[in-house]
Amino acid sequence: MIILKSREEIDKMRRAGKLTGRVLRAVVDKADVGVTTIELDRIAEKMIRDEGAVPAFKGYQPEFVKCGPFPATLCTSINDEVVHGIPDGRPLADGDILSIDTGVEMDGYFGDAAVSIIIGRPDKGATSLVLATRNALDAGINACIAGNRLGDVSSAIQTVAEAAGFSVVRRFVGHGIGRQMHEDPPVPNYGSPGTGPVLKQGMVLALEPMVNIGTSDVEASADCWRVTTRDGARSAHFEHTVAITESGAEVLTVQEA
């Protein structure tokens, strides 16, 4: 069942989303060659707790993961890591693609967003991948209009990513969001226009294309969390929490300082 949010609820989600965006912005500004992802994680957790909010990923334990709850505030996924990387003490290196995903729970409502950046000097392949993934997300957001169908959003994302010569991950998808981090409907990054549920005012969706340079196949690592590409090629991930309002799509997780 897709839960429609009232104006008051969307107001609360704006606050959760705003903090999510601010945290990502702060972490992106700090990320550089030699910095570790555990340092970034500490910055993010402090910012969230200082606002009286809760890091939504820390302690998260879905049924499909058998090795214990997620231990951190950020997911930090580097190069061939697609999503759910655990922050650690490895210093970031020149040319790394770093995908950072975070979630915030504030006043009972969630925000969820991700961004990929290139550390140090970018190479052409990384630049092209990151740009295409961001463009795919933007295309999905532009399709978040009441009266459209969910398949229009999925198809818009897929079309942009594949037109750039990349593949979209199918194993993991976006989702509805609200009083829970993951609500209905699932939002695949692939699909056919004109299919799926009709979008309505009050729906809030987390769109999150995961785009690979090589094939779309992914696999879980030994820690059960970190997901990598099966072929070892690099991957990027962008996400926004988006509300469908009377004036169209509203991005709730804008990355402002």
Residues 18-37 that bind Mg ion (CB under 5 A): none
Does 210 participate in binding Mg ion (rule CB under 5 A)?
Answer: no
Does 112 participate in binding Mg ion (rule CB under 5 A)?
Answer: yes
Separation of CA 125 from chain center:
21
Structure tokens at 24: 């990502």
CA distance 238 to 226: 17
Instruction: Give the Cβ contact number of residue 68 at 10 Å.
Output: 11
Packed helices 37-50 and 7-30: angle between N→C axes, nearest 10 degrees: 140
Contact window for Mg ion (CB under 5 A) among 41-49, 59-67, 198-206, 248-256: 198-206
Does 96 participate in binding Mg ion (rule CB under 5 A)?
Answer: no
- Contact predicate 158/191, CB 8 Å: yes
Site string for Mg ion, 153-182 (x = CB under 5 A): ------------------------------
User: Among 117, 206, 218, 242, which residue interacts with Mg ion (rule: CB under 5 A)?
Assistant: 206
Of 206 and 242, which has the nearer Cβ to Mg ion?
206
Size of the site for Mg ion (CB under 5 A): 3
CA distance 71 to 75: 9
Q: Which run of H or E residues covers position 14?
A: helix 7-30
Name the minimum Å distance from CB 16 to Mg ion. Answer: 13
Does 183 participate in binding Mg ion (rule CB under 5 A)?
Answer: no
Contact window for Mg ion (CB under 5 A) among 1-9, 58-66, 79-87, 206-214: 206-214
Binding site for Mg ion (CB under 5 A): 112, 206, 208
